[in-house]
Amino acid sequence: MKLRFAHNNINVFDLDKSIEFYEKAVGLSVVRRIDAEDGSYRIVFMADGESMQQLELTWLREKETPYNLGDNEIHLAFRADDFDAAHAYHKGLGVIIYENPDMGIYFIGDPDGYWIEIIPTR
């Protein structure tokens, strides 16, 4: 038996804002949408077009306030083929929230406060 990653899910407060962020900041594209018949939820799958891994964004109609991530230290990670260019791009977007030069990584933040680690291709 062999299992492979399919996707990771995060719940988002503003689906359009999140889609725009993931398209612009890390180059993902929408590959599939699921809309509940009663409008109670929307699910959008995004992918980089190269790996099998997808990001699932879930929007819930009844959610009236932004998510409180509390001490949630879960994060996503992306490899940058040109780390310096990625860093300059994200700095220009104003989305870098933490840098660790000793480890050679940095993090950007999405509209809901999720952290995305950017690592160089090694």
Mean predicted confidence (pLDDT) in 30-47: 98
Q: Is the pLDDT of residue 57 over 90?
A: yes
Confidence (pLDDT) at 70: 84
Is residue 2 within 8 Å of residue 51, measured between CB atoms? Answer: no
Contacts of 42 (CB under 8 A, 6+ apart): 15, 33, 34, 35, 36, 58, 59
Q: Is residue 69 part of a domain?
A: no
Domain membership flag for residue 56: yes
Q: Which of 23, 37, 64, 117 is the catalytic position?
A: 117
pLDDT band at 122 (very low <50, low <70, confident <90, very high): confident
Its domain, for residue 26, covers: 7-61+75-120
Question: Residue 10 is encoded by which pair of tokens?
Answer: 């995060």
pTM of the model: 0.91
**CATH number of the domain enclosing 91:** 3.10.180.10
117 part of the active site: yes
Answer whether residue 48 is part of any domain. yes
For residue 80, the 8-state DSSP code is: E
In a domain, 79, yes or no: yes
- How far apart are the C-alpha atoms of 90 and 26, rounded to whole Å? 9
